[in-house]
Amino acid sequence: MKNGLIPSVAIAGISHHGSDIAEMESFRFPDEAALLTEAQGWFKGALLLQTCNRIEFLVEGDAAMAEAFLHEQGRDGFRTLEGEDALRHLLRLSAGMDSMVVGEDQILGQLKTALALSRENDACSPLIERCITKAAHVGVEVRQRTNINKGAVSIGSAAVELAEDLLGSLNGRHILVVGGGEMGTLVTQALAEKDLTAIYVTNRTFARAEELANLVGGKAVRLDELFRYASLADVIISCTAAPHPIIRYDAVCDAMRDRVWPLDEEKSPLVIIDIAQPRDVEESVGDIDGVYLFTIDDLRTVSEKNMNNRKEEAKEAHAFLDAELTQFVTLLNRAGASDLLAHLHSWAEMIRCRERDKAAVRLRSSGASAEEILDDLSRVLVKKLLNDVTFSVRRCAESGEIETAQALVHAVTAGDNECFRKDDCED
């Protein structure tokens, strides 16, 4: 921990940087609430962030404990960051600097959702709360100060860019969006800016499909009509939250047969972009003649293009994040010091009460004067309160660590010295 971070903070997990879709699917936790409940027996606080291209576990604890916990959960191949490195990663994450689509805005909402889930499952500690709140604040501010989120700012809008790159243009095309959640909304909004012939929207809840279609002048489609409209579409962008594939090999084969008109020499090609996690589309669909299947992994090219376009903004964002990191460490250390001081004051109060009670007994039963008893009380208190620090100063001096010894004495006497100076000035 480079700047002496007092609280133990660690992040462990995987992301699109080193893992493909299959690896992320196998790493994903299907029951987030159960994981957070189990984590309570290990950590003071825990938070699980699961998005399309990352699974990360933030804990109030050290890296070794985080690793042991994930290994017990049957997970491996993950990266672990601790202390200041973990905080730096959290700030980069909230700023969109670590996202597949650099500067994307969705991560802010995803962090807040993860925090809410941690709270609901009684896994959120004050430290975890401070970390996410600070990260979200920095994420908003860095976007206000730079153009880091200019252009494609989500996986959804990147998927639309990919479709446009593949087809040359989306003008006059028919697009089918499968899924009406947050990602489906982003996809549909990005498509609304294109000169399309038709946008079809389908969702498990038809009312949501209607709501989204009305926003962009599209047509809502019932989920059981998905493949009827698939035969009409040039592009399908799928982004549901289904736990299993909903676009299957056999159904797509049937849809492709319906795409051949009597005078056509070959099937009209169909582009399918699957940005769901877990995947919406069976992998074998990509083997069908005339079908071109793309996944989140293929959006890396869009990410690289965006990063190249934003190099100057990224430099400015990095400088801002470095400054915020210093403040972040100070904030957490101040909170950590409060816990240490609470322990110190509890210890001192215990000694005070014990010696006060002894003095009270002497006042009632002995013949000593009150002045004598009070003098003895003050001497005992000083001796017991300074006993440990006296031992530490002597041990440092014997080892030649005179600067440490001086620092210990200064830590104890600095307040009184300041008071003496003020009294001198007043006189």
Residue ranges for the known binding site are 51-54, 99, 104-106, 110, 179-184
Q: Which two tokens stand for residue 354?
A: 């014990």
Binding-site residue positions for NADP(+): 179-184
The tokens 């990509």 sit on which residue?
286
First-residue to last-residue Cα distance in the chain:
46
The tokens 């579409």 sit on which residue?
233
Q: How far apart are CA 24 and CA 14, in angstroms?
A: 7
**Sheet containing 291-295: which strands, arranged edge to edge?**
219-222, 198-203, 174-178, 235-238, 270-274, 291-295
* Distant-in-sequence, close-in-space partners of 409: CB < 8 Å, separation ≥ 6: 389, 393
Of 52, 124, 239, 396, catalytic: 52
- Name the burial class of residue 366, with classes exposed (0-12), middle (13-18) and buried (19+) by CB atoms within 10 angstroms of its CB: exposed
In three state form, how does the secondary structure of 28-90 look? CCCCHHHHHHHHCCCCCCEEEEEECCEEEEEEECCHHHHHHHHHHCCCCCCEEEECHHHHHHH
- Name the burial class of residue 120, with classes exposed (0-12), middle (13-18) and buried (19+) by CB atoms within 10 angstroms of its CB: exposed
Beta-strand pair 46-51/54-60 = antiparallel
Annotated catalytic, 239? no
Give the number of other CB atoms < 10 A from CB of residue 292.
14
Binding-site residue positions for substrate: 51-54, 99, 104-106, 110
The tokens 């700030």 sit on which residue?
91
Q: How far apart are CA 193 and CA 211, in angstroms?
A: 18
Known catalytic residues? 52
